[in-house]
Chain A
Amino acid sequence: MAKIVSKSGLTVGVNLVINEPAKTIQLLAAGGLVFKEGVTWQALYSKLVDLWATSTYQDSPFPAYAIDALSGQFQIGTDGATFNGWSFADDSTRNALRNGGWSEYSAAGVLLQEFSGFTGLGSINLGAQPYYHLADTDAPTDFPFDDQFNVGVKVFGDATHGSFNKRTYAKTFCREYGKKFKSSVLSDTGATATGANSQSFLISNEDDLKILGLLGAVQATGDTAMSGAPYSGITVSYYTANQSRNIGGSPYNFKIIIDGNNATLEQIYAKVQYQLRQATDINASGTAGAKVGKIQSDLLAFVGDTLVTSQSVFIDNIQTADSNRIEFYDDGNTKRTNPYTAAGTMSFNSVLVGTGSSYRLMYTAPAGAGNDYGESGALTVLKADGTTPIAGEITSTSIGFDFDYDGSTAGGTAGTDKAVTLIGIKPGTGKFAVATGTLTRSKGISLSLVAESDRVYSVA
């Protein structure tokens, strides 16, 4: 069944009940009317006009007034000149109305309540459950039906109808597992207030390939994984005061700190998206009080393979290899990125691996005297931390390393490629071996050291 958009779809006694003594209008889920699909305000209004064109109803005042169908402005309980007390029989009827907002007046002309016609523009996945709230601290409320919304949301009630007035803010959300999150706030539409009219929100979603690729398409499987490592250690903390974090040697301020638990950026993203679907407090250790996940702003998004944070969001404890595919936006909404940290792998053949072995990565011939490989002042390449030499025992056939490509001046001008020499030996099994290579602006530098078997070495 589709939304009823014509008065011809409404039949008194079948899906429309006009109760003149009680002055109520009721819609019934019958005769082609399905509540989820609903009926447009214009169709209902037109049907009422037709009915009141007959003698049957002319003994009652006309129940509604249409200010403008295009902008969805309607009123009930008034014919535009006088107030008469007509109303809807129940909330099921109200929830079945589409493409419009309305005001409900008492016979005395008092505004009893007001509904804004929230309409989602765009496509969301079948079965998605969008939700909204009318103040930034309010708990989220599901729209009465799943799939894309088009329904009246009560934004005002007088003392006898809830006694609230929330017509200055509205935010709608669609956050589904395996889909990119979408939210739209009233100000996005250019409006400053809701009211008895239609309010459109751009809400659409699409597959989130990062989530689907990492956790699969089954939500239960993905959600269950969140209680295990490394996800369980990934948390979000909201602070009232700025938290200083060092990026590239300079301090910057952030108010939302994610503990990445040394997980990959994809895993961190997955956990944060999970948190933002929760109806519970997700503030792990921050000072900003309870933060219900479902209504918090988006924190992270992937642009290609680069993770981009929202304003004032920082991630602690990320993997070294991920340091250059993340962009932070500080509290002033300025993009901050880590200096480029090159990374790579040193490979050793088996005769070099084991206790008693030794390797060292040297600058081959850096600027200056007496510091070439083989000389007493030979420079060992330091890791990205700037203090740890890339040297030690060969514990595995593959040893990863990183170094500060943009910042290190030890072997020459920062930010330039540098020739290096990798040396290694394991007395007794592997002869001294030398390999040369270049440290480039890359995360995939590969150096390979292959030694001959040592058949001569004598312990004595």
Chain B
Amino acid sequence: MKTLLLAAAVAAGLAMPGVARANDKLTLQLKWVPQAQFAGYYVAQAKGFYKQQGLDVTIKPAGPDINPSQVIAAGGADVIVDWMPDALAAREKGVPLVNIAQVFQKSGLELTCRRDSGITSPANLKGKTLGVWFAGNEYPFFAWMAKLGYHTKGAHPDVKVLKQGFNVDPLLQKQAACISTMTYNEYWQLIEAGMKPAQLIVFKYQDEGVAMLEDGLYTLQKNLKNKAMVGKLARFLKASMQGWQYAINHQKQAVKIVMSNDTAGVLNVTHQARMMQEVAKLIPGGKHGLGYLQPSAYTRTVKILLASKTDPVITRKPVGAWTHKVWNAAFKH
């Protein structure tokens, strides 16, 4: 019996094609729940791009009150999707995050208002109630308010700010004149809830000059000192951008793949298709290719963050907060 088992084990070992090493493990922490905002990574996984690069990637979704920078600080991930203001703030607080790729070249954050509240331009915002997301998404809003010269705190603020949940009810119920929305998500939730585009007026932070860099890939500084880790991250980046390019070119398939990753069963196909369409508009931008962080865009974000005198997000100019090392290893041979 023992001889038989031994023979079987040897046969199984010989039968395997020359596998030099097991796939390298890597954990990616997303910024929100599984949705088309992260289609590129799910597509790369489903289409085997990660496997081709010899990677075994675990994609961890997030949700309300899950902060990717805290997850990576606690050792729960190797690379995270995060927005730049949040990453820079974390860096200043002692979590040494470094940007290794900028996936979204354009910003999708906007303030959507009801026309029947009398708002026609930013000048009308005074005296109104505005819903704002927090948890890392509030920085462009406060930068814009500072630019417009509106006070948001104290006994008699120029605008009344509400901490909005991640839904659109405050606008529908007229509890707020304006709410924070993404071009690819909550705006369409309003339309799907029955509002007409003519009833809404939208202020895109990109157009107001206070847009900040959104979805990017970040890792801890110590990972960049490890040559093997840099190699792993470069392969991950290459496969991820491949996934994004595929998702942009085959949107219907990408939506299907995202839906299959929806374990909670809450995603709606039409909404995800629209999200994929809008996200695809935000990703391309530079002449260098997908995922390249434009240093000018970084500098602009830092400038806006440092300019806010009230409630500054960062107090010092960040040093070493981004690198092209991984991008170059992935795409420049």
- A associates with B: no
Binding site for A on B (CB under 8 A): none
Chain A residues within 8 Å of B, Cβ to Cβ: none
